[in-house]
Structure 1
Amino acid sequence: MMTVSKPAEFFKSIRSVRDTTGPIYEFIKSQSGGNYYELDESKMDQVTDYLCEIITRDYGENYDLIPAHGRWQHLNAGGHLRVEQLVGEWRADQIDEVEISRRLVDLLIISVLVDAGAGNLWKYALSVTESYSRSEGLAVASYYLFVGGDFSNDSKIRCQVNGEKLKNFTMGQFIRGFQISDENPLNGAEGRLQLIQKLGESLLAHPEIFGSDARPGGIIDFLKKKSTIDNCINLNDLWNALMDGFVAIWPQGRATIRDEPLGDSWSLDTKLKTKKNWDNDFLNSLVTFHKLTQWLCYSLLVPLERYGYKFQILDKELQTGLPEYRNGGLFYDFGVISLKPEHLKRGLVLSEKLGNKEPIPMFTAEDGAIVEWRCLTIGLLDELHELINKRLRVNLTLPQVIEAGSWKAGREIAAEKRPSTKGPPIELYSDGTVF
């Protein structure tokens, strides 16, 4: 049995993601299926072929041009270099490089925070001919709120995010900023607003991390204190700051240990069929994803490594693939995984009950069909990473494979199979807080 004195610390750690999901993936591989899904690994060759074609189409053999997966690219949706233009304006105004890195962190953190599934209907329109949906639409909307000063409590400095302003953000501001209407509904608007407000409260509650002005970008100065003389930090330093600073924003009802919230952690009955490491079944059933915190880590690497202090970050390989619907949908659409008949039927009943026009199975976030899907996604992405590098004879990082391959491929295969919605093969009944 595991003898960690503080299990909450383990389940909130980055290493817990592979440690808790890995045994489930290995168990399902050994059985060719779990409690909710069948697994057909022979289909992985087709997935590899599809990704390699996309990578070659978009990059040729210029693999060094593939960026790491991150929110930066979404902010630049449509080929517009919005973020680079902002940086250029700041430099023209003689803003120092460390403050530029703070502002970039401000922008990226608020943009990641609102990036839960938007649904099939919502779009953000810049003009009659230019609009964006899903992640890109949410990113562009958050960008214009940021540059418009909607997140700043200083009228003279529009491009910053302050806890006090977020804490008092209103539904009216949210509706206007994201262009929500009866004709343009956004999934989970109330949940997203509450996340923004809770982020404000968390920024104010942790001045040791975010500074006296309660800015996400204050984490730059916190990390500087943790760094060595050559500005070297460990990924765990960033991870712990994000986890400690933001874990309280998660809604009530998620997994907790002695009332301490564990973030993106869920109970899964399948895990009880693997080796038991704890002395009670609740702990043995827990799996962690921490997708929001991982998405933040991925997205913050650019401002941390390329701007301001230009930190060197060690142990980045601790991060996993992101268990979200594009990556997970890729494996489902190619038949690598498939819902067992009884769970497919159950998901279709909920979908019909909620008025879905397409016969797509739907589940709530805590349902084993979603949790096991996410576990499989992490394991399959690690496997796909190796297959892509072997096929292309390169050494791409996992974030590069996600950016150029799996995330993009998941979206493209979804559009091929479901052209009317371009949505995922399994729907998450989202309250706007599940990533």
Structure 2
Amino acid sequence: MTVPKPAEFFKTIRSVRDTTGPVYQLIKNQGEGNYYKLDESKMDQVTEYLCKIIARDYGDNYNSIPPHGRWQHLNAGGHLRVEQLIDQWRAAKTDEVEISRRLIDLLVVSVLVDAGAGNLWKYIVGESESYSRSEGLAVASYYLFVDGEFSSDSNTKFQVNGQKLKDFTMDQFVKGFQVSDANPLNGAEGRLQLIQKLGDSLLTHPEIFGSDARPGGIVDFLKKEASTGNCIDLNDIWNALMDGFVTIWPQGRATIQGQPLGDSWSLDTKSKTEKKWDDEFLDSLVTFHKLTQWLCYSLLVPLEKFGHKFQVSNKELQTGLPEYRNGGLFYDFGVIALKPEHLKRGLALSDKLGVKEPIPTFTAEDGAIVEWRCLTIGLLDELHALVNKRLNTNLALPQVIEAGSWKAGREIAAEKRPLTKGPPIELQSDGTVF
């Protein structure tokens, strides 16, 4: 078997479980890692809490649970915004393949701005509706899209073009996301740069995104990649996203010979596991690729249900998303707990930054965040099995995340921290990390 080059390996979807799994197993075997203690006896409480939420929202109609994706966030507040757009396009006799392109245009740009918004920011619609965090960012991106703010063609509002994103200004961003001194958004500058770099990537890769430099151009690219009929492999989608977008990530993250690896980080805990590369730096690396995975999750519905209606194999390669809702669920139930010395320094940073809640804060590269994310991926796989056993069903992992873990993480956060409804650990965010 050919051994992949390091840069190629760390950019694969398979690398996520391959690199984070050993960290989770080490902590599971020892009961602790470098930053957290693990108490798996509390997983039953998490499972019960989650299953109650599923019963409340879906009864036993498990087939109605959609896969986790950005689509649901765009419909925040019970408004079927996306479905209404589709109805509008069909009434105008828009081609079904073009509908899938438009949906992907919308979803890609919406996912790319979906890093932690902080506890204070809100997006206001009309006189009475207010959305915060992920849903607020989604609704804001929706209105920018339908208003044509991402389109280079004044006659066609409903698209996203690379040149328009590359030229996007801070004034447009501030207006579109309603940012002000009274309504601060974490990492606004980082988000704007991500939008601009997305535009540059779309322009740089016409082989994937077409001459119009649209995210939706991936539909036509994948049609060419289809082996037989409309059958494509998840790896084909993944590789297109990684090749097309890897250059947008900020400087300062892990690289190999100058090649950026995306959402990949060095973790000292990983160095205690079995060596794979015989290289200290490579053996310390773990990958998450959270936004790319979030993109992949979100694009599956328009790829499978619209246009060419692709049949996608190997979807099980995707992991749970290592972000603060899923990770916060396990922390709030005591499945994981920061070791005292790390809790102390996290609280010290919170105090320095003026964080109102008595919770610890860390930067994205801190081992306390990176190990937390490794644990989240492993524990979501465990939770997936526990939920299916309790409900005697066969829900896919994206359904468990959608119906349960992400929602449960949000609800337990609101119970424990009603003032902010925020996570139990704060991230000093640059607007580009979970």
The TM-score, its normalising length taken from structure 1, stands at 0.99
Task: Output the CA distance in 2 between the equivalents of 1:128 and 1:379.
Answer: 43
Find the counterpart in structure 1 of residue 289 from structure 2: 290
Find the counterpart in structure 1 of residue 239 from structure 2: 240
Q: Which runs of 4+ in 1 moved over 4 A?
A: none
Whether 1:65 aligns to 2:49 is no
Q: Which amino acid aligns with 1:128?
A: E
Find the counterpart in structure 2 of residue 202 from structure 1: 201
Find the counterpart in structure 1 of residue 260 from structure 2: 261
Find the counterpart in structure 1 of residue 156 from structure 2: 157
Give, in angstroms, the shift of residue 380 of structure 1.
0.1
Secondary structure at the aligned position of 1:313 is classed as strand
Find the counterpart in structure 1 of residue 40 from structure 2: 41
Q: Which amino acid aligns with 1:132?
A: Y
Secondary structure at the aligned position of 1:383 is classed as helix
Give, in angstroms, the shift of residue 357 of structure 1.
1.1
Find the counterpart in structure 1 of residue 220 from structure 2: 221
Whether 1:372 aligns to 2:371 is yes
Find the counterpart in structure 2 of residue 4 from structure 1: 3
Give, in angstroms, the shift of residue 359 of structure 1.
1.0
Task: Output the CA distance in 1 between the equivalents of 2:164 and 2:280.
Answer: 42
Task: Output the CA distance in 2 between the equivalents of 1:418 and 1:100.
Answer: 41
Q: Which amino acid aligns with 2:120?
A: L
Correspondence 1:14-53 to 2 at 5 A:
14-53=13-52
Q: Deviations over 1:381-435 (max 9, x none)?
A: 0000000000000000000000000000000000000000000000000010112
Task: Output the CA distance in 1 between the equivalents of 2:308 and 2:413.
Answer: 40
Task: Output the CA distance in 2 between the equivalents of 1:180 and 1:366.
Answer: 27
Find the counterpart in structure 1 of residue 384 from structure 2: 385
Find the counterpart in structure 2 of residue 137 from structure 1: 136
Secondary structure at the aligned position of 1:303 is classed as helix
Give % identity: 81
Q: Deviations over 1:332-391 (max 9, x none)?
A: 000000000000000000000001111110000000000000000000000000000000
Question: Structure 1 pair 5/320, CA: closer, same or farther in 2 (3 Å)?
Answer: closer
Secondary structure at the aligned position of 1:38 is classed as strand
Task: Output the CA distance in 1 between the equivalents of 2:128 and 2:356.
Answer: 26
Task: Output the CA distance in 2 between the equivalents of 1:32 and 1:388.
Answer: 23
Give, in angstroms, the shift of residue 127 of structure 1.
2.1
Task: Output the CA distance in 2 between the equivalents of 1:262 and 1:246.
Answer: 11
Correspondence 1:408-419 to 2 at 5 A:
408-419=407-418
Whether 1:350 aligns to 2:356 is no
Q: Which amino acid aligns with 1:198?
A: K
Q: CA RMSD in A?
A: 0.8
Secondary structure at the aligned position of 2:241 is classed as helix
Q: Deviations over 1:259-302 (max 9, x none)?
A: 00000000000011110011210000000000011000000011
Secondary structure at the aligned position of 1:124 is classed as strand
Whether 1:314 aligns to 2:317 is no
Q: Which amino acid aligns with 1:287?
A: V
Secondary structure at the aligned position of 2:126 is classed as coil
The TM-score, its normalising length taken from structure 2, stands at 0.99
Aligned residues: 434
Task: Output the CA distance in 1 between the equivalents of 2:221 and 2:418.
Answer: 46
Q: Deviations over 1:220-258 (max 9, x none)?
A: 000000113320000000000000000000000000000
Q: Which amino acid aligns with 1:384?
A: L
Task: Output the CA distance in 1 between the equivalents of 2:433 and 2:319.
Answer: 18
Q: Deviations over 1:312-333 (max 9, x none)?
A: 0000000000000000000000
Whether 1:109 aligns to 2:125 is no
Task: Output the CA distance in 1 between the equivalents of 2:292 and 2:192.
Answer: 18
Give, in angstroms, the shift of residue 5 of structure 1.
4.7
Task: Output the CA distance in 2 between the equivalents of 1:340 and 1:168.
Answer: 45
Secondary structure at the aligned position of 1:433 is classed as coil
Question: Structure 1 pair 5/301, CA: closer, same or farther in 2 (3 Å)?
Answer: closer
Question: Structure 1 pair 347/3, CA: closer, same or farther in 2 (3 Å)?
Answer: farther
Give, in angstroms, the shift of residue 46 of structure 1.
0.3
Task: Output the CA distance in 2 between the equivalents of 1:329 and 1:25.
Answer: 16
Give, in angstroms, the shift of residue 89 of structure 1.
0.5
Q: Which amino acid aligns with 2:218?
A: I
Q: Deviations over 1:52-95 (max 9, x none)?
A: 10000111000000000000000000010000000000011111
